[in-house]
Amino acid sequence: MKTVWNVLLGIAIIVLVYMCYASIMGPINFEKSQKIREKAIIARLMDIRKAQQEFKSLNKQKHTNDFDSLIHFVKTQKLPIVAKEGVLSDEQLESGLTESKAINIINKAKKTNNWSEVKKLGLENFSRDTIWIPIKDTIFTKNFNVDSLRFVPYGNGKQFQMDTVTILTEAGAPINLLEVKTPYETYLGDLDRQELINIIDRQTKMNRYPGLKFGDLMIPNNNAGNWE
């Protein structure tokens, strides 16, 4: 009988030790996983923000709330890049020559094959050529998968929530606002349930979004991220 009680006591001690260990390591492991996952998600949100900035610049200062449109834009749109060679000297500038005038003179010489004025003004080594480069190559790395923009890392195929709204300033001027977000539940839902409930509760009590996001549909914030 004594042996049985010793065995039971030993088991009880092991269980208690494990429970103590789990209570200590549970939050630590949760936080460690959270940091790893959020690093990847923040990087993806920053990629979306870069794409939206370019979309806005070429679409009447408006963002898009549709990933299909954004991804198609990144894949197909090109940006003009001006390749510059040579600069105008102080003497040329003082004579009233501007870059625009210089380019017009050079373009005229190309059409007529008369380069006398170009040589007279010392513009032989001056050029401004526009090169069209795909947006994808200007804001992302060479092998970046544009189709991945919509998906939340560690989200098991779930997509970011992306919305836009237009509000009016006090002066009546329209402002297009953007918000892209994903809740904790999407990318932490497979971890310790109690720890997830705790972090959601803490953020909610502080009136903060329980997850990661940039932008805001209520207040203009220059598309700042809540991790910044």
Instruction: With a cut of 70, say whether residue 55 has pLDDT above it.
Output: yes
- Position 4 scores a pLDDT of 57
Helices (H) and strands (E) in the chain, counts: 8, 5
Backbone angles phi, psi at 150, to 5 degrees: -75, -20
Report phi then psi at 53, rounded to 5. -65, -45
pTM recorded for the entire structure: 0.75
Nearest-CA neighbor of 200 among 209, 192, 210? 210
Q: Which is it for strands 127-134 and 161-168: parallel, antiparallel or unpaired?
A: unpaired
Per-residue pLDDT, 143:
86
Query: Is residue 138's pLDDT more than 60?
Result: yes
Who contacts 92 (Cβ-Cβ below 8 Å, separation ≥6)? 102, 121, 122
For 114, residues 6+ apart whose C-beta sits below 8 A from its C-beta are: 108
Measured in whole angstroms, the distance separating CA 14 from the mean position of its chain's CA atoms is 48
